[in-house]
Amino acid sequence: MINPNDIKFYDVQTIESHSTGIVLTNGKIDSINENETKGSGIRALCGGSWGYTSLSGNKDIKSGIDDAKMLAKSMNSHSPKDEVDLSPSKIPKKISSPKPKISPSDITMEEKIELLREIEHYIKSEGLKSTTVSYSDSTSKVIYMNSEGAEVEYDIVRSGFSVSAVAGNENTIQSGRESKFDICGYEIFKKYDPFVAAKKAADTAKLLLDAKTPKGGNPKVILDQELAGVFTHEAVGHASEADLVLMNDSILKDKIGKTVAPDEITIVDNPMIYEFGYFPFDAEGSEPEKTILIKNGIMNEFMHSRETANRLGGTPGNARSQGYAQPHVRMSNTYIENGNSNFDEMLSEIKDGIYLIGSRGGQVNTGEGIFQFNAEMGYLIENGEITSPVRDVSLSGRTLDILKEIILVGNDLKINAGFCGKAGQTVPVSDGAPHIALSKATVGGI
Amino acid sequence: MGKINENIKDITEEIDEIISIMDNAISFAKKSSADEIEIFYAKSISTSVSFRNDKIESAKESVGSGFGIRAVVDGASGYSGTNISERLIDSVKAAIKAAESMDGDPMWKGLPEKSEYLEIPGLYDENVCNMKLEECVENTMNIIKGISSVDGVKPISGGFSRAVGINIIQNTNGVSAQKKATIVSASADASAESASDTSTAFDYGISRTFDISPLKIGENAAEMAKKSLNGDRIDSGKMPVIFHPFAFSSLIENTFAEAIDADNVQKGRSPLIGKIGEQIANPKLSLIDDATIPGKTGSCSFDDEGTPSQRTEILKDGILKTYLYDSTTAARGNTKSSGNGFKSSYGSVTSVDLSNLVIIYPKSDIIRETKSGIYVNSLIGAHTANAITGDFSVEVRNAFKIQNGEITKPVKSAMISGNIFDLLKNISGAGYDVKDVGGIITPSIKIEDISVIGSE
């Protein structure tokens, strides 16, 4: 009944993963968790319809492929629509994924616990109400194959730690948190000094006890690299994902070739640099490419999967998934390139305003181009100088307006690791920027 | 056509085999160095159909399953997980090794014992299990139809899904229990455009049985998007804010829910430490965690540790009565588990979570009673609220001005700031529109004197 030639494409992404997590709270090990999983996500395309199946454990992939094909065919006959064609995918020839210097499996559980205890003990002496140190590592093998004959794989190790501290007085309790994640092994603790991070978290918590909540309004602001990175990711990055553009859900959809920001602004997404969002090929087996989203203030290109690249014209390489879930167009390492200003020049230029530091996260409504993000802390800028600390500050705005309010771009780019949620899936990313100064922004406060 | 999906997968397939694998692991565990072992198994089968713009894009069928293992040594719990059945015994060993590496907990009172469980009606619907792909497609088409029925509004994305899940828990204290549940959900994102403005909105419905209307969900999203077009700027100031259940539940989930988690209380991370018995909210406000309500999305006969479900009064007449507990926190707090030990996935550590949180406040026509204020449908950035202090500063979405008891013009871009514990004191009304938003069951809530910041 069904012509087997109806299926024009299928692919299989298989992931085997081993992970360890340790949490130490208030001097005691709170939890240890070890997970070992294996599974496959399978897609098949028939006409303009996708069928998708997933299998967990040691299941027969062949039956999963058959099921995905049946789903695609069934969908195509239920609700036929325009043919979907896929842009050709460049399959990487040689994969040189970074190898860990110290494999997490070579370090005993006892040794890992001992280090976490030392880190916690180090800040314990600072008189805090609560402290938590967590560590995690994961080792994954990603295997990709498709009906065009591609067959590629890579191994990747990700590690990270975070330290959070809670300080309290009679009026309030406040927290500070520092985290470092990277594509590396146990050398994470050599790349980033955990004691410095722990001290910083503790200092932030204590400083915030006496910080004030600023008055809400529309002041001039300087964003530190981490917060400017979150702004880049939320306000510009998501709206530059071609699947959202095609869904008519992006404020940047008609902006290619148009000026959207000052000419000092260049924003790129680059999966090839060894930051937390790195991958040697994407969830469709495509070799990644650097995408220049905004070039000297002009909207330049979007990020694509093979399907969106074909529909809009562009280069695939940004299809990503959490584990073996269904791929979507996602960012990797997204950042604003360096400008010319140094921080002191920014302070004197801004004169009076707020300096916002660190991020508790953000969210964007890409269709309307409205975003919100929350700073971990900040300082008032008075007469060109940093003065009293502030807490509980959020910033919101319209992407297109706020890009135009950027008046200075720093020369001190820093990239931070993080996790990004979209379509119910979380993937590792990084985002970054130099310090940036805005002529005005809506700041929430009392 | 129509022959393709005849073989609906049966959730109970392979279950006998799984139980014998678990029995085998329990026998192994009894001979091991661990004091106690718990083996948790979860399996789900889901079918979802999604759309982009006005076209159905894909159909997805996922079968997921896996084991979570917990080993207790000297009162400390070590965890492991795997979705490879052949590796279960190795996982048990890994959990034991983890537990042995931990500090003992002298307060530990043991994993739950075998007990009787209440049958909660309405959590499993055979019709949902038997729902065919064709029906899922049709329901998805109806969401698109609902959106497109509103003039000038287009679908962005969304979909329909149905799932059936099974959980099995066994432990070395004799607990051996099984629960099945079904879930149906539909979601719609819609976009309205005028010459000078674009507005988007969403709606969704989630239920244990197919009693949601995909068409209506589509229409709701579309109407909300259309009504939100061409919004006004708003002057900053303090004013009453009415939170739609979407907006109120997202704040509660990110702040209050964390504060009543006994784990956060015991670790010094909750502003409600030492407040049991105190008046912390408006005396007309009560909050109840209740896993026993028939048919609700957060209901279950027992939690993920095998503790029987119960109804827990958290806040009664504004007075804080209790925190929520799992076995670990209950032992440390010298009390009993409230049946709130849940796992986010089979392989995760068990922690305290809400079942259904029911928000109770006398109902009235809160919009009519408001002279001047704003109505907020949902929030952008609720997850950035400070869980430790309850402070939040978020952007409003699909918000409207209220003037002389009527909803008037939409508001474009404004932030609201405050503290959840001040909000609970300043509640001044609740609407008639009770909604179950992913386990938080709340009407619209009116709060006085919220700081609203308009953009320039």
User: So what's the pLDDT on residue A399?
Assistant: 92
Q: Do A110 and B395 touch (CB under 8 A)?
A: no
Q: Do A32 and B56 touch (CB under 8 A)?
A: no
Q: Return the exposure string of A197-225: e unless at least 16 CB atoms fall within 10 Å of the residue's CB, then b.
A: bbbbbbbbbbbbeebebbebbbbbbbbbb
End-to-end CA, chain A: 67
| Chain segment A4-21, per-residue pLDDT in tens | 458 999 999 999 999 999
* Averaged pLDDT score across all residues of chain A: 94
pLDDT band at B456 (very low <50, low <70, confident <90, very high): confident
DSSP output for B52-63? ETTEEEEEEEEE
Whole-number percent of chain B with pLDDT over 70? 98
| B229 touching A (Cβ < 8 Å) | no
Q: Do A52 and B59 touch (CB under 8 A)?
A: yes
Q: From CA B25, how far away is CA B172, in angstroms rounded? A: 10
A3 has a pLDDT exceeding 60: no
Type of residue numbered B151: D
CA A85 to mean position of chain CA atoms: 29
Residues of A in contact with B91 (CB under 8 A): 34, 36
Contact by Cβ (8 Å): A244, A308: no
| B62 touching A (Cβ < 8 Å) | yes
pLDDT band at B143 (very low <50, low <70, confident <90, very high): very high
**Among A70, A79, A172, whose Cβ lies nearest the Cβ of B137?**
A79
Lookup: tokens for A432:
């970054």
What is the sign, positive or negative, of the torsion defined by CA atoms of A121, A124, A126, A130? positive
Task: Enumerate residues 6+ apart whose C-beta is below 8 A from B47.
Answer: B59, B60, B61, B131, B133, B136, B161, B162, B163
A13 CA: distance to closest CA in chain B (Å) = 14
| Chain segment A255-270, per-residue pLDDT in tens | 999 999 999 999 999 9
| Chain segment A377-430, per-residue pLDDT in tens | 999 999 999 999 999 899 998 999 999 999 999 999 999 999 999 989 999 999
What is the sign, positive or negative, of the torsion defined by CA atoms of A405, A409, A410, A412? positive
Backbone phi, psi, residue A137, to 5°? -140, 150
User: So what's the pLDDT on residue B12?
Assistant: 82
Q: Do B417 and A113 touch (CB under 8 A)?
A: no
A93 CA: distance to closest CA in chain B (Å) = 31
- Sketch out chain B's domains with CATH numbers: 4-218 (3.30.2290.10), 231-456 (no CATH)
The mean pLDDT of B432-450, rounded to a whole number, is 96
| Chain segment A181-214, per-residue pLDDT in tens | 999 999 999 999 999 999 999 999 999 999 998 8
The mean pLDDT of B142-166, rounded to a whole number, is 97
Residues of A in contact with B64 (CB under 8 A): 39, 54, 56
User: So what's the pLDDT on residue A79?
Assistant: 81
- Residue closest to B241 by CA, chosen among B410, B444, B455: B444
The mean pLDDT of B325-338, rounded to a whole number, is 97
**Residue B83 to residues A62, A410, B78, Cα–Cα distance (Å):** 19, 48, 18
User: So what's the pLDDT on residue B10?
Assistant: 82
| B53 touching A (Cβ < 8 Å) | yes
Q: Do A33 and B79 touch (CB under 8 A)?
A: yes
Complex-level ipTM: 0.91
**Among A74, A166, A247, whose Cβ lies nearest the Cβ of B269?**
A166
Task: Enumerate residues 6+ apart whose C-beta is below 8 A from A198.
Answer: A119, A120, A122, A123, A133, A163, A165, A178
Contact by Cβ (8 Å): B146, B188: yes
- Residue closest to A158 by CA, chosen among A358, A331, A334, A323: A323
Residues of A in contact with B191 (CB under 8 A): 248-249, 367
> A230, A231, A392, A440: best mutation site toward chain B, by most B Cβ within 10 Å?
A392
The mean pLDDT of A440-446, rounded to a whole number, is 83
pLDDT band at A323 (very low <50, low <70, confident <90, very high): very high
How would you classify the pairing of strands B445-454 and B414-419?
antiparallel
| Chain segment B70-129, per-residue pLDDT in tens | 999 999 999 999 999 999 999 999 999 999 999 999 999 999 999 999 999 999 999 999
Lookup: tokens for A278:
């790195």
| Chain segment A336-359, per-residue pLDDT in tens | 999 999 999 999 999 999 999 999
User: So what's the pLDDT on residue B2?
Assistant: 36
DSSP output for B386-440? -TTT-EEEEEEEEEEEEETTEEEEEE-SEEEEEEHHHHHHSEEEE-S--EEETTE
Stated as kind and residue range, the H or E segment containing A23 is strand A7-25
Q: From CA A174, how far away is CA A129, in angstroms rounded? A: 10
User: So what's the pLDDT on residue A264?
Assistant: 96
> A58, A248, A425, A440: best mutation site toward chain B, by most B Cβ within 10 Å?
A248
Greatest mean pLDDT among A79-83, A91-95, A109-113 lies in: A109-113
Contact by Cβ (8 Å): A443, B453: yes
The mean pLDDT of A305-310, rounded to a whole number, is 97
Q: From CA B360, how far away is CA B287, in angstroms rounded? A: 6
User: So what's the pLDDT on residue A5?
Assistant: 53
**Among A51, A175, A362, whose Cβ lies nearest the Cβ of B388?**
A175
Beta bridge partners of A249: none
Residues of A in contact with B198 (CB under 8 A): 251, 367-368
Name the residue with tokens 């979150």: A230
- Sketch out chain A's domains with CATH numbers: 4-209 (3.30.2290.10), 221-444 (no CATH)
| B383 touching A (Cβ < 8 Å) | yes
| B195 touching A (Cβ < 8 Å) | no
Q: From CA B221, how far away is CA B147, in angstroms rounded? A: 7
User: So what's the pLDDT on residue B8?
Assistant: 66
Which residues, numbered 243 to 282 in chain B, qualify as contacts with chain A under a Cβ-Cβ cut-off of 8 Å? Answer: 267-269, 271
User: So what's the pLDDT on residue B451?
Assistant: 94
pLDDT band at A126 (very low <50, low <70, confident <90, very high): low
pLDDT band at A446 (very low <50, low <70, confident <90, very high): low
For residue B101, give the chain A residue with the closest CA.
Answer: A110
- Residue closest to A350 by CA, chosen among A382, A319, A310, A388: A382
Beta bridge partners of B407: B402
Q: CB count, 10 Å around CB of B195?
A: 5
DSSP A99: P
| Chain segment B18-40, per-residue pLDDT in tens | 999 999 999 999 999 999 999 99
- Residue closest to B62 by CA, chosen among A37, A283, A321, A55: A55
Contact by Cβ (8 Å): A185, A156: no
| Chain segment B344-378, per-residue pLDDT in tens | 999 999 999 999 999 999 999 999 999 999 999 99
Strands (E), B194-260: 198-207, 237-243
Tally A–B CB contacts below 8 A: 279
Task: Enumerate residues 6+ apart whose C-beta is below 8 A from A82.
Answer: A48, B55
Strands (E), B172-278: 176-193, 198-207, 237-243
Q: CB count, 10 Å around CB of B149?
A: 13
| A399 touching B (Cβ < 8 Å) | no
**Among B101, B191, B269, whose Cβ lies nearest the Cβ of A130?**
B269
Q: Do A51 and B59 touch (CB under 8 A)?
A: yes
User: So what's the pLDDT on residue A265?
Assistant: 97
Task: Enumerate residues 6+ apart whose C-beta is below 8 A from B134.
Answer: A78, B2, B5
pLDDT band at B4 (very low <50, low <70, confident <90, very high): very low
A108 CA: distance to closest CA in chain B (Å) = 10
Residues of B in contact with A238 (CB under 8 A): none
Whole-number percent of chain A with pLDDT over 70? 98
How would you classify the pairing of strands A267-269 and A385-390?
unpaired
Name the residue with tokens 């999966």: A271
**Among A39, A113, A394, whose Cβ lies nearest the Cβ of B415?**
A394
Q: Do B451 and A28 touch (CB under 8 A)?
A: no
Type of residue numbered A207: L
User: So what's the pLDDT on residue B5?
Assistant: 47
Residues of B in contact with A37 (CB under 8 A): 66, 81-84, 347
Angle at A245 between CA A240 and CA A246, to 5 degrees: 145
User: So what's the pLDDT on residue B7?
Assistant: 55
Task: Enumerate residues 6+ apart whose C-beta is below 8 A from A94.
Answer: none
Which residues, numbered 334 to 353 in chain B, qualify as contacts with chain A under a Cβ-Cβ cut-off of 8 Å? Answer: 347-349
By three-state DSSP, how is residue A381 classified? strand
How would you classify the pairing of strands A333-336 and A353-365?
unpaired
User: So what's the pLDDT on residue A305?
Assistant: 98
User: So what's the pLDDT on residue B40?
Assistant: 98
> B14, B83, B273, B422: best mutation site toward chain A, by most A Cβ within 10 Å?
B83
**Among B84, B105, B451, whose Cβ lies nearest the Cβ of A36?**
B84
User: So what's the pLDDT on residue B1?
Assistant: 34
